Amino acid sequence: MSRIFEPIQIGRLLVRNRIVMSAAHLCYAKDGLVNDRIIDFYRERARGGAGLIIFGGCYPEKRGKVWVAEVGMDTDRVIPGLRRLAQAVHEHGAKLAVQLLHGGGASLPILTREQPVSASDSPASISMPGVHPRPMTEEDIKQVIEAYADATVRAREAGCDAVEMHCGMGYLPNQFLSPLTNRRTDGYGGNLMGRIRFVRELLQRAKQKAGDDFPIIMKLSGEDVMEGGLTIEESRSIARELEREGADALHIAPGWHNSGVPLIVWCVPSDAYAFTAHEIKKVSRIPVIASDRINTIEGAEWILDNFQADMVAMTRPFIADPEIVLKAQENRREEIRICVACNQACFDYMLDFKPVTCILNPQAGYESDPQYRIEKASVRKRVLVAGGGPAGMEAARVAALRGHRVTLIEKEAQLGGQIRQACAPPGKAIFSTMQSYYETQLSNLGVDVVLNTEANSALIEEIKPDAIVLAVGPSPIVPPIPGIDAPNAYLAQDVLLGRARVGKEVVIIGGGTVGCEVALYISRLGAMRPEIAFFLLKNHILDTEKAISLVSKGNRSITIVEIRKTIGGGFGRSLKGFIKKELDECDVRKVPNAQVKEIIRSNGGLATGLIIVAKDGTETFLNADTIVIACGSRPNNQLQERLRERFSEVYSAGDCAQIGDFLTAIHGGFHVAKKI
């Protein structure tokens, strides 16, 4: 039996299982206070089986504000709302901790109206460009320590079960701990013991004021993943010291927001950073919580059952599916909506100061909003959904939940639509879980799925549905370039689905999201399999640098030609840097501000190259034995116009209505089904 559902003690606190919903800034707060939207959001996660919910981060004083719509623990005004939140969580058997987060040098002057403070004047994890913090005086340090202690008292008075102090990810306590940002020469700097002093005093004073029996969790980076930052060896010493000072648990989440190394996006293998928690656990007797990119129950079980950690923390998996724990307990794992780590509507929304939701779960953040409540329809209808991509599958799911008789027609041999293309690039296999989830849901709900059938006007008129949802996807844009009909010129989707024979010299027309992803996909073709590289490394046949090179890319030449000045401009903020780095490491040549004039063909008709024209009019010839067309798509709405002449209730969703992404497709399918 797995340890995952065993109870565990954190100080005096008994938690019903070993799964933690870690803190997530949601951008839901107003005036720094807990409101109904926050309470409704966390109530659902408590009902869904979380053992411990960590709420926050919350600033302990106004100088520590990092995000808009953040809850403040700096005033007693927070207590009534926080008490209601604790009661809502307790009603469903979960425990509640409050995370205290002080940005220090990462605090935003536009929110605090003053210069940030830090250990030194070094820029911090997410400092605004040109903003340098002011080194804290000893009086500043005393004020902040007292603010943390007072916030801890408020958490206890509100009926919360614990406090977590965020001492990682480049925030204020981490700025004292890390040699990268702590250049002090007084008792709060210098060697490791000096750098630990501020954090140790935070813990000491909070225990003094709130009571030694009130549990305090210390969240550490373990590894800063920054050159010159904290290493795991130093973090082990920090962990031992904090345990001696009375910490009740340690939560390990590596890296800074600007580490330059991916931490939580899809390209990071699931459970990749659990080793940092394991390293801390080796020297700790108190519970250690593993965190970051743990997105499945199976991964959590592996970590716990192999004694890598004592608890496992997830955030985005709870946003995607509030019932992730409950479904696992009830042996309904195939029904779990697995987070794909896209960051699109959670972390990227937070960076843009927008309320967090989820591409997979339209109800996230709208738990009590009537417009998002799925209720039985007053009249049961025969609903036909044309198209088995994300929009169509979501529309069919919600329509079936509302009691309608649903038939879904898909022209391909399997469901998925653009999901099948999305999971082809390196690191994106996790996206295939979207398709598995919908297949399970549609089967359980009794949706009649008809494959290998195109939903044309004649078929639909024969079925005579009461309502129609068109989700047939987009039509690819093929620019009118002479020679583009060459047999070795392929649509990007055909390459990603393995329908194209890719040569050695590849030119991709279009440098948007799809163009970049197909470039990475092609770059990996022919690369060495990781298990071979491991064998060769282990037996000293290859050195590390060569092995990484052989695993990372094959031996094709790839060029992206983009008419605009930016390549990869469609990626979210948390992905742009990674995609650019990957393209560079795979030696993908990027040619922005250029237009393809003509594709040159041999006597046999095959493309042998193309002529591109730069912005200044200069023409250049590029060799190519494979052309990939990634020029975007246009809505495919011809069928909709014809059907509206014959049927009174015709809806469209996804890219056949308006070109978008998985968020617009799934959310569009959800809302269309609500209208029927």
CATH number of the CATH domain containing 628: 3.50.50.60
Q: Could you say which DSSP state residue 12 is in?
A: T
pLDDT digits (tens, 9 = 90+) for 466-478: 999 999 999 999 9
**Residue of higher predicted confidence among 214 and 636:** 214
Cα dihedral sign, 211-217-220-222: positive
User: For residues 456 and 453, what is the distance between their CA atoms, to the nearest angstrom?
Assistant: 9
Tell me the chain's radius of gyration from C-alpha atoms: 27
pLDDT level of residue 499 (50, 70, 90 thresholds) = very high
The confidence score (pLDDT) of residue 126 equals: 61
Residue tagged 């912005």 (tokens) = 615
336 domain residue, yes or no: yes
Name the percent of the chain lying above pLDDT 70.
99
pLDDT level of residue 160 (50, 70, 90 thresholds) = very high
pLDDT digits (tens, 9 = 90+) for 215-259: 999 999 999 999 899 999 999 999 999 999 999 999 999 998 888
371 domain residue, yes or no: no
The confidence score (pLDDT) of residue 573 equals: 85
pLDDT digits (tens, 9 = 90+) for 88-124: 999 999 999 999 999 999 898 888 999 999 999 987 6
Cα 373–Cα 376–Cα 379 angle in degrees, nearest 5:
135
User: For residues 226 and 212, what is the distance between their CA atoms, to the nearest angstrom?
Assistant: 34
| 573 and 670 part of one domain | no
| 61 and 166 part of one domain | yes
pLDDT digits (tens, 9 = 90+) for 418-437: 999 999 999 999 999 999 99
User: For residues 388 and 449, what is the distance between their CA atoms, to the nearest angstrom?
Assistant: 9
pLDDT digits (tens, 9 = 90+) for 122-143: 876 565 666 789 999 999 999 9
| 413 and 549 part of one domain | no
Q: Could you say which DSSP state residue 241 is in?
A: H
Across the range 64-71, mean pLDDT stands at: 94
| 650 and 625 part of one domain | no
Select from 15, 28, 80 the least CA-distant residue to 54: 15
Q: Strand, helix or coil at 87?
A: helix
406 domain residue, yes or no: yes
| 200 and 255 part of one domain | yes
**Residue of higher predicted confidence among 29 and 643:** 29
Residue spans of beta strands (DSSP E) within 480-631: 489-491, 505-509, 557-561, 589-591, 594-601, 607-614, 619-623, 626-629
Across the range 149-174, mean pLDDT stands at: 97
The confidence score (pLDDT) of residue 638 equals: 82
User: For residues 217 and 163, what is the distance between their CA atoms, to the nearest angstrom?
Assistant: 6
Across the range 169-188, mean pLDDT stands at: 95
The confidence score (pLDDT) of residue 311 equals: 98
216 domain residue, yes or no: yes
| 643 and 610 part of one domain | no
| 13 and 25 part of one domain | yes
pLDDT digits (tens, 9 = 90+) for 38-64: 999 999 999 999 999 999 999 999 999
- 595 residue type, one letter: Q
Domain at 316, CATH number = 3.20.20.70
pLDDT digits (tens, 9 = 90+) for 364-388: 999 999 999 999 999 999 999 999 9
Sheet-wide strand order for 467-470: 448-450, 405-409, 382-386, 467-470, 650-652
User: For residues 496 and 492, what is the distance between their CA atoms, to the nearest angstrom?
Assistant: 6
| 274 and 127 part of one domain | yes
Under 8 Å between Cβ of 132 and 138: no
User: For residues 340 and 295, what is the distance between their CA atoms, to the nearest angstrom?
Assistant: 8
357 domain residue, yes or no: no
DSSP secondary structure of 154-183: HHHHTT-SEEEEE--TTSHHHHHH-TTT--
213 domain residue, yes or no: yes
Which residues does 320 contact at the CB level (< 8 Å), separation at least 6?
Answer: 337, 338, 339, 358, 360, 361, 364
| 645 and 670 part of one domain | yes
Select from 649, 625, 15 the least CA-distant residue to 313: 15
Across the range 565-570, mean pLDDT stands at: 90
Select from 669, 23, 2 the least CA-distant residue to 346: 23
Which residues does 82 contact at the CB level (< 8 Å), separation at least 6?
Answer: 34, 71, 98, 154, 155, 158, 159, 160
358 domain residue, yes or no: no
The confidence score (pLDDT) of residue 25 equals: 94
Select from 173, 172, 166 the least CA-distant residue to 216: 166
The confidence score (pLDDT) of residue 570 equals: 87
User: For residues 588 and 527, what is the distance between their CA atoms, to the nearest angstrom?
Assistant: 15
Q: Which tokens hold the place of 13?
A: 């606190």
Which residues does 331 contact at the CB level (< 8 Å), separation at least 6?
Answer: none
pLDDT digits (tens, 9 = 90+) for 304-355: 999 999 999 999 999 999 999 999 999 999 999 999 999 999 999 998 999 9
| 339 and 288 part of one domain | yes
Under 8 Å between Cβ of 493 and 508: no
Phi, psi at 597, each rounded to 5°: -90, -40
73 domain residue, yes or no: yes
Is pLDDT above 90 for 507?
Answer: yes
Q: Which tokens hold the place of 348?
A: 């990227």
Under 8 Å between Cβ of 476 and 494: no
| H-run or E-run covering 56 | strand 52-58
| 534 and 545 part of one domain | yes
| 425 and 328 part of one domain | no
| H-run or E-run covering 470 | strand 467-470
Domain at 426, CATH number = 3.40.50.720
The confidence score (pLDDT) of residue 644 equals: 86
Is pLDDT above 90 for 620?
Answer: yes
> Do the bridges between strand 475-476 and strand 633-634 make them parallel or antiparallel, or are there none, so unpaired?
antiparallel
Instruction: State the number of CA atoms in the 13 A half-sphere of 398 facing the CB.
Output: 25
Burial class (CB within 10 angstroms; exposed 0-12, middle 13-18, buried 19+) of 549: middle
The confidence score (pLDDT) of residue 247 equals: 98
Q: Which tokens hold the place of 402?
A: 């509302």
Under 8 Å between Cβ of 452 and 408: no
Owning domain of residue 289: 3-352
Q: How far is CA 448 from CA 326, 332, 339, 441, 653, in A?
A: 28, 22, 27, 12, 19
The overall average pLDDT reported for the chain is 95
> 3-state SS of the chain: helix, strand, coil percent to 5?
35, 15, 45
Residue tagged 């329908």 (tokens) = 499
Q: How far is CA 115 from CA 134, 145, 458, 563, in A?
A: 7, 19, 68, 42
Is pLDDT above 90 for 77?
Answer: yes
Number of domains in the chain: 3
Which residues does 5 contact at the CB level (< 8 Å), separation at least 6?
Answer: 17, 18, 329
User: For residues 576 and 150, what is the distance between their CA atoms, to the nearest angstrom?
Assistant: 40
